[in-house]
Structure 1
Amino acid sequence: MSGFSTAAYPLLPPAAAASLGPTVVLAPHPDDESLGCGGLLALLRQAGLPVWCVLVTDGTMSHPNSRKFPAAARQDLRQAELQEALAELTIPEEALHCLSLPDGAVPPPDTADGATAVQQLAAFLDATQPATVLVPWRRDPHPDHRATYLLLQAAVQQLPQPPRVLEYVVWAWERAAPDDLPQPGEAEGWQLDITPVLAQKQRAIAAHRSQLPGSPIDDDPTGFTLAPSMLAHFAQPQEVYLEAVQA
């Protein structure tokens, strides 16, 4: 993260992933799951543990001015890319659950649409009973990422036995303001060695072709693609996770 060093975070071996048990990852957009925690997901599957992915938005705002790919086609393309990425991580197709909230406008829990999403998410977590849930860092500098964190917090409060919540980093690597970073006593961080599955993670990221240079959505000059400097953060042999310090 900008102005933030992970050097003091302990580095856990790949085998530590298995201690997290059955896991759900919340991805605000297709590609967040691979960028932020693709290595951990692959290690969980290698250990024979179930993994589910909740896609929060419809993913349509990456290229909002494309005529070649109108909104419905963009949604279909990005979901197909996500399925390919999950397959690279050996996560089965039926493990994907889509909330289909508006990209760029994920509602907070204190709105009608947000409250509905909270109920859907709580029901999904109650049905799957994960030991751990992965969610973007609470102040990751994207409004959808922050809203996703708030939806999860509201959902776990409804569960009789809340899962462990780990926060992963996406946009905070490049865009974090000082106030976005973990504050003293707020969260503890650690790193996970993903060396054995790094190539798998890279293949999962590469499946999200529409978000990479040379995107098939080539008729929107204002469209989004991941910059090489951004992608470099996710080519490292370790991933960073944060966990709230219990009061």
Structure 2
Amino acid sequence: MVNFDSRDPGTPAADWDASGIRNAPPFDLSGFTGLLVVGAHPDDETLGAGGLIALATDAGIPVHVVVVTDGGADGGDDTAERRSAELREALDELGDGIEVTELGFPDGGVLEHRDAVGAALAQILGNADAATLLAAPWTGDGHRDHRVAGDLVLEHAGGRTVAEYPIWAWHWGDPAEMPLPVDRLRGVRVDADRKRRAISRYPSQVEGPEPMLHAGVVEHFVRDREVFVVSEPARSGLRRDYFERIYERREDPWGYVDRWYEQRKRAATLGALPSEHYECALEIGCSIGVLTEQLAERCAELVAVDVSARAVERARERVGDRARIAQLDATASLPEGPFDLIVLSEVGYYFGDALDDVLARTVDALAPSGDLVACHWRHPVEDYPLSGDDVHARLDAWGLTRLVRHEEADFLLEVWSSDARSVAQREGLA
């Protein structure tokens, strides 16, 4: 996560305005039947999505606001109660009839209560209409509670569109380095005065000798446009229910555990890794965690994701706490990098015409000297939108240096890197 101090002056709002970021392409809200806004703390919903909430209520779209923590970490015994009252007063400024759910987890403790928070959000999101727009903190915002809350919404989105709102990134970020993913930014025009009134309903945050939200911070949120990082559902790839049906029928649908073919291929994949050890790695499409278990031995930190809830459950049982395993649709988003290793094994051909978006996010998440490993089955499969060779051809077009190419009739294994040095050169032998 990013280290920052809310008391610092931070990046002026005018710098972001001058960067043109608020001129992001417009976000089309037509077609959504509801808006469900998740905030890590009371005030996140108003700061990040207050204008969107007001637009929805004005349009007669039902709005449900869910706040994960009680916001009580920065004050006395009555802080949580005060912030709960402030939340409702702020929402009254934004519109009528807004449903509010306060989960009441400890402020600053979302990671420690991740499973319980995830279960609560899964139930709430599961009851939402399929055409509900979800809004949540941006996972790259730099605050741990924001990251975990955003991760969990993406994990349980169930194919719905997710609009992630930055909060602290406006404060610590530098427009010249653009920490936000430009390709997924979308903007909506909002009533800045109405939003300012709503923010003022949080005196515990904006008043006092050293307010958490000083005037320079608040200025970021009273512009006439809100900006979101938008993750849309998969397009023409295989959807989550396809995989849930497969895992429902069989514990290990592809024979990862017992087949010699799979054991040999894993050994080839692990042997092709250019480095013996990685600090932070990402595995996209971890299935039941057989490769994950072995990758974890080579990584200080490993994040593994899969679209199937059943696969994720089995992977967690297999791997335990040696990796962080999450249910996530890679066609909608990826965990925030950078990662010095990304593994894309037997998954790329499922993405269909969303593959290029997945690869763009994958390359963007790669560390400056990171390695990208891909391994795919080459024989035709009627269900798969793409072939393994198609996936590797698309990967090759990204211009990374290919360090390894292992080609057999059955599978293609390749390693690309932004570090052009060979293994011997990295070891100082050549």
TM-score by length of 1: 0.78
Tell me the equivalent position of 2:127: 127
Residues 207/106 of structure 1: CA separation in 2 closer, same or farther (3 Å cut):
same
- Structure 1 residue identity aligned to 2:118: V
Residues 171/8 of structure 1: CA separation in 2 closer, same or farther (3 Å cut):
closer
Unaligned runs of 5+ residues in structure 2 are 1-9, 232-331, 333-356, 359-430
Q: Is the 8 A contact 1:141 1:180 kept in 2?
A: no
Q: 1:226 aligns with which of 213, 220, 225?
A: 213
Equivalent runs, 1:11-26 vs 2, <5 Å: 11-12=25-26, 16-26=28-38
Structure 1, residues 63-88: CA drift from partner, whole Å, max 9, x if none? 2xx3xxx1xx2111100000111111
Tell me the equivalent position of 1:189: 185
Distance in 2, Cα, partners of 1:100 & 1:176: 30
Q: 2:93 aligns with which of 84, 88, 92?
A: 88
Paired residue secondary structure (1:61): coil
Tell me the equivalent position of 2:261: none
Structure 1, residues 93-137: CA drift from partner, whole Å, max 9, x if none? 6x11112111112126xxxx3222212111111223252110111
Paired residue secondary structure (2:68): strand
Q: Does 1:168 align with 2:155?
A: no
Tell me the equivalent position of 1:212: 206
Identity, in percent, stands at 31
CA apart distance, 1:166: 0.7
Q: Is the 8 A contact 2:68 2:117 kept in 1?
A: no
Paired residue secondary structure (2:64): strand
Q: Does 1:200 align with 2:212?
A: no
Distance in 2, Cα, partners of 1:32 & 1:87: 15
Instruction: Calculate the aligned-residue CA RMSD, in Å.
Output: 2.6
Residues 139/179 of structure 1: CA separation in 2 closer, same or farther (3 Å cut):
farther
Residues 212/81 of structure 1: CA separation in 2 closer, same or farther (3 Å cut):
same
Tell me the equivalent position of 1:116: 116
Tell me the equivalent position of 1:137: 138
CA apart distance, 1:138: 1.2
Q: Is the 8 A contact 2:114 2:148 kept in 1?
A: no
Q: Is the 8 A contact 2:110 2:117 kept in 1?
A: no
CA apart distance, 1:190: 1.8
Residues 85/163 of structure 1: CA separation in 2 closer, same or farther (3 Å cut):
same
- Structure 1 residue identity aligned to 2:140: R
TM-score by length of 2: 0.47
Structure showing greater Rg: 2
Residues 98/183 of structure 1: CA separation in 2 closer, same or farther (3 Å cut):
same
Structure 1, residues 155-182: CA drift from partner, whole Å, max 9, x if none? 23xx4xx211011111000113799823
